[in-house]
Structure 1
Amino acid sequence: MALRNSTTERQRRLGTELRKLREQAGYSVTEGGELIGMGRTHLGHVEAGRTAIPSDRLRGLCDAYGCTRQPFVEALVAMSEDSGKGWWTEYRRALSQPVLDLAELEAAADALFSYESLFVPGILQTPEYTRSIFRSSQIERPRDNLEKAAQFRTERQQILTRVTPPTLHAVIHEAALHMRFGGMAVMRRQLLHLVRMAELPHVTIQVLPFTAEGLSACSTPLLLIESHGSALDTVLVDNPAAALFIHEEDAILKYRTRFDRLRTASLPPLDPGVSASTHESRDSLGLLQHVLYSLQEA
């Protein structure tokens, strides 16, 4: 039984879900292992994400625990059979594990729901905008690491142009449109990039205006990742201390409700295909065009 030196979010999530199923069924670790001819220590390592579990044993364990949600079981099997090897593995020496975990989660996503209060979402950033953010951060980065981090963020965006892309719904606070990163020219190109990305049929972009009532302008950003037919959803909450991956059902429901409030309070989505003369006086594109004009005139 080979043990992993480090674990990914996917591996930890698989173990966590198996532990929850065991506890809900009322079995101890020893009893759970006996159900499939596995020792207590071995099952403990599986639940901690430190070692793999064959698909047949995983199905047998779910069956013994009385889990009848077949889509959920198949989602666990798919998670266990995933090699975890993707383009992001080339960055293992340069970037932290949570950053790599995000790319892996996005690669398996069916839908992404993003809210940002002070930045354009990473998956919608231009390279020069990204570099300017990294340069202005308080974290000292060697130039090589800065370039790798910026390149990594750009490569994450490839999921939006693949054959079967996830849907993306991004809510961006108006404050993020006014923040200056890299100067006016960089910001102008970034905002124009948002308009171009909104042309994709699976991308929806809304702006939450300063005038929205009852919502904090600096509320915590979030990324809700739906995957495996919503059987294994995850919320990412980023903060200066660490990235927090959340997958408890009650918590995810609260974040989903929060995102629904944000998009309901936001202006209608960017729609570059609609003639400017037919736009409502207050919609996301109209506000973005106003900011673009101010950048041009400044």
Structure 2
Amino acid sequence: MGMRTTISERQRRLGHELKKLREQAGLSAGEAADRIGMGRGQLSHIEAGRTSILSDRLRHLCQALGCESVPHIESLVAMSEASGKGWWSAYKGNIGSAAMNLAELEAGAASLRTHEALFIPGLLQTEAYIRTIFSSPKLNVRDIDEATAFRLERQAILTSESAPAFHAVIHEAALHMRFGGPTVLREQLLHLIEVAQLPNITVQIFPFGADLDAALSGTFLHTITPVRELSTIVLDHPAGSLYLSDDEHLTLYDTMFDRLTESALAPIGVRTSEELATKDSLALIQHLLYTL
């Protein structure tokens, strides 16, 4: 099998998970390779994501490394067998690798959790809002069209047959950012209310004056897979994206998201008592709409 010239996050993650299993078993690359009749160099390339591994051999390797969880092994096999040629493949060469990796991660998630401070989450944005965000002297019209179309196509996952549960905590500051002017923002806020009615979507607003420690969590996306150990935290930065997958990071972000949801207002669409009716997420958005 030839060496890959570019390595996707899924391919890198598969190799990382195999290396983690090997290290947990206390084996060197050479010792692990010997157990399944493989060369040390070949295993090293697999762990680095540079080359693939056949499904049966992958199962054999996992068992040789002491992994007894069938769901875990089969999830790794699914990662290995995935072609990576989803709908996003049509954008290859026109869209950056970070966005391509994100689409593939979302496609494999059972649920998604996100916290945004200044923007409406990408999966909930209107076309006008998206175009405004991508409008830049550095991008030509074609680039903006491609980026907008890609993000809109990403959103289809929320209404697909296998739609993941999506829970967003959005800081109130994002509702005041008039990207594109009041008309664009008004349309975006109305859209936010509309999509929050879907059974798999939960939207909470984190108000000004809420718990400071929770607010310091920063923005992130948590793609949660059926096997928790294979979940991923995605952190965006100007140069691309950072992917966290160690158990301590997964636990940390689980805890932070729980604190965010506890400090945020009641979700849109969830009935509250008359006493709290003016303090829930829907009421806050409706109040802002009156000012636009």
Instruction: Give the TM-score normalised by the residue count of structure 2.
Output: 0.96
Matches of 1:266 and 1:32 in 2, distance apart?
Answer: 48
1:53 aligns with 2:53: yes
Q: CA deviation at 1:217?
A: 5.0
Matches of 1:283 and 1:121 in 2, distance apart?
Answer: 19
Deviates more, 1:59-68 or 1:228-237: 228-237
Matches of 2:126 and 2:274 in 1, distance apart?
Answer: 28
Contact 1:25–1:66 (CA under 8 A) maintained in structure 2: yes
SS of the aligned residue for 2:223 comes to: strand
Contact 2:266–2:272 (CA under 8 A) maintained in structure 1: no
Name the residue aligned to 2:284: 287
Letter in 2 for 1:60: H
* Pair 21,218 (structure 1): closer, same or farther in 2 beyond 3 Å: closer
Picking from 247, 258, 261, the partner of 2:259 is 261
- 1:198-277, aligned counterparts within 5 Å? 198-215=196-213, 219-271=217-269
Matches of 1:33 and 1:108 in 2, distance apart?
Answer: 29
1:178 aligns with 2:176: yes
Q: In structure 2, list runs of 5 or more residues that go unmatched.
A: none
Structure 1 runs of 4+ aligned residues shifted over 2 Å read 213-219, 228-231, 274-279
SS of the aligned residue for 1:196 comes to: helix
Name the residue aligned to 1:41: 41
1:189 aligns with 2:187: yes
Residue by residue, what CA displacement relative to the aligned partner does 1:97-138 show, whole Å, maximum 9, x if unpaired? 1110000010111000010000000000001101111125xx
SS of the aligned residue for 1:98 comes to: helix
Residue by residue, what CA displacement relative to the aligned partner does 1:167-222 show, whole Å, maximum 9, x if unpaired? 00000000000001111111000000001101100100000000202237565200
SS of the aligned residue for 2:166 comes to: strand
Matches of 1:185 and 1:177 in 2, distance apart?
Answer: 13
Taking every aligned residue pair, what percent have the same amino acid on both sides?
Answer: 50
Letter in 1 for 2:14: L
Matches of 1:217 and 1:106 in 2, distance apart?
Answer: 25
Matches of 2:217 and 2:291 in 1, distance apart?
Answer: 26
Letter in 2 for 1:177: L
Q: CA deviation at 1:230?
A: 2.5
* Pair 190,218 (structure 1): closer, same or farther in 2 beyond 3 Å: farther
Contact 2:214–2:263 (CA under 8 A) maintained in structure 1: no
Contact 1:279–1:286 (CA under 8 A) maintained in structure 2: no
Contact 1:233–1:247 (CA under 8 A) maintained in structure 2: yes
Deviates more, 1:238-247 or 1:117-126: 238-247
Q: CA deviation at 1:241?
A: 2.7
Q: CA deviation at 1:229?
A: 3.8
Residue by residue, what CA displacement relative to the aligned partner does 1:15-45 show, whole Å, maximum 9, x if unpaired? 0000011111111111111111111111111
Name the residue aligned to 1:92: 92
Name the residue aligned to 1:20: 20
Contact 2:169–2:264 (CA under 8 A) maintained in structure 1: yes
Contact 2:115–2:170 (CA under 8 A) maintained in structure 1: yes
Letter in 2 for 1:294: T
Q: Please provide the CA RMSD for this pair.
A: 1.8
Matches of 1:6 and 1:73 in 2, distance apart?
Answer: 25
Q: CA deviation at 1:164?
A: 1.9
Matches of 2:53 and 2:104 in 1, distance apart?
Answer: 20
Matches of 1:142 and 1:269 in 2, distance apart?
Answer: 38
Contact 1:172–1:206 (CA under 8 A) maintained in structure 2: yes
Letter in 2 for 1:48: A
Letter in 2 for 1:64: A
Contact 1:110–1:229 (CA under 8 A) maintained in structure 2: no
Residue by residue, what CA displacement relative to the aligned partner does 1:38-65 show, whole Å, maximum 9, x if unpaired? 1111111100111111111111111111
Name the residue aligned to 2:112: 112
Q: CA deviation at 1:282?
A: 0.2
Matches of 2:144 and 2:39 in 1, distance apart?
Answer: 46
Letter in 1 for 2:232: T
